[in-house]
Chains A and B, each alone.
Chain A
Amino acid sequence: MSQLISNKAKPRPLTESSSGGNSLALKIAVGCLLSLCFLGPLSSTVQGQSFSEYQVKAAFLYNFAKFVDWPGDALGNGNGPLVIGVIGDDPFGGALDQAINGKTVKGRTLVVRRLKWGQDLRSCHVLFISSSEQKRLREIIESLRGASVLTVGDMGQFNQHGGIINLILEANKVRFEINSRGADQARLRISSKLLSLAKNR
Chain B
Amino acid sequence: MTTLSQNSATPRSTRFGNATGIERTINGGLLTLPKTIRIARKFGSALFLLALTTSVVAQRSTADLTTASLEDLMNIEITSVSKKEAKLFQSAAAVTVITREDIRRSGMTSIPDLLRMVPGMEVAQIDGSKWAVSARGFNGRFANKLLVLIDGRSIYSPQTSGVYWEAQDLMLEDIERIEIIRGPGGTMWGANAVNGVISIITKSAAETQGGLIVAGSGSQERGQAGIRYGAKIGDAAHYRISGKYFTRMGLVDAAGVDANEGHKAFRGGGRIDWQLNNRDSLTFSGDLFLSKIRETSLAISPAAPFAPHTNTPGEFTGGHLLGRWARTFSPQSNMALKIYYDRFSRDIFDMSERVNTFDVDFQHNLALGKKNDVVWGVGYRRVSDRTDSTNSTPMRYNPAMRTVQLFSAFAQDEVILVKDRLRVTLGAKLEHNDFSGFELQPNIRILWTPRNHQTVWGSVARAVRAASRSDEDLRVNVAAFPGPGGMPVVLAIFGNPDLKSERVTAYELGYRAQAGAKFSLDVATFYNVYDRLVKTEAGAPFLETDPLPAHLVIPLNFKNPMRGETYGAETSLNVNVARQWRLAGSYSFIKINMRLDPLSRANGAEEVERSSPQHQFQFHSYVKLPRNLEFDAALYHVSRILNVPRYTRVDVRLGWRFSENVEFSFAGQNLLDARHAEFGGSIAAKRLVRRSAYGKLTWRF
Q: Which A residues form the contact surface with B (CB < 8 A)?
A: 1-2, 4-9, 11-12, 14, 17-18, 25-26, 28-29, 31-56, 58-60, 62-63, 67, 91, 93, 98-100, 103, 132, 134-135, 137, 156-157, 160, 169-175, 193-194, 197
Contact = CB atoms under 8 A, between A and B. Distances in A.
Interface stretch (B54-62, B192-200, B345-353, B375-383): B54-62
24 contacts: A5-B220, A6-B219, A8-B674, A11-B675, A17-B672, A29-B633, A31-B40, A32-B631, A33-B621, A33-B635, A36-B631, A36-B633, A37-B51, A46-B27, A48-B63, A48-B579, A50-B579, A63-B66, A63-B70, A157-B236, A172-B20, A172-B101, A174-B73, A174-B74
Given A37-B40, A52-B82, 15 more contacts: A7-B674, A11-B674, A11-B676, A34-B40, A35-B37, A38-B43, A39-B580, A41-B50, A43-B580, A44-B58, A44-B578, A47-B577, A172-B100, A173-B78, A197-B71
Interface of B: 18, 20-23, 25, 27-31, 33, 36-37, 39-41, 43-45, 47-48, 50-51, 54-55, 58, 60-66, 68, 70-71, 73-83, 100-101, 207, 209, 219-220, 235-236, 256, 275, 277-278, 330-331, 516-518, 576-581, 583, 621, 623, 625, 631, 633, 635, 646-648, 650, 652, 668, 671-676, 688, 690-693
Nearest to A168: B206
Interface of B is mostly: mixed
Please list the 6 inter-chain residue pairs (A to B) with the smallest Cβ-Cβ separation, ordered nearest first. Answer: A37-B48, A49-B517, A59-B65, A50-B21, A40-B577, A46-B28
Contacts of B578: 40, 43-44, 46-48
A175 to B, nearest CB: 7
Q: Which of A53, A62, A135, A169 has the most CB of B within 10 A?
A: A53
A52 B79 contact: yes
Contacts of B82: 52-54, 93
B47 A37 contact: yes
A26 to B, nearest CB: 6
A157 B278 CA distance: 7
A130 to B, nearest CB: 11
Contacts of B623: 36, 39-40
Contacts of A58: 65
Contacts of A193: 70
Given A33-B635, A173-B74, A51 B23 contact: yes
Given A43-B581, A50-B79, A98-B62, A8 B256 contact: yes
Contacts of A67: 70
A41 B623 CA distance: 12
A55 B31 CA distance: 28
Contact of B77 (A29, A35, A173): A173
A106 to B, nearest CB: 15
A29 B621 CA distance: 12
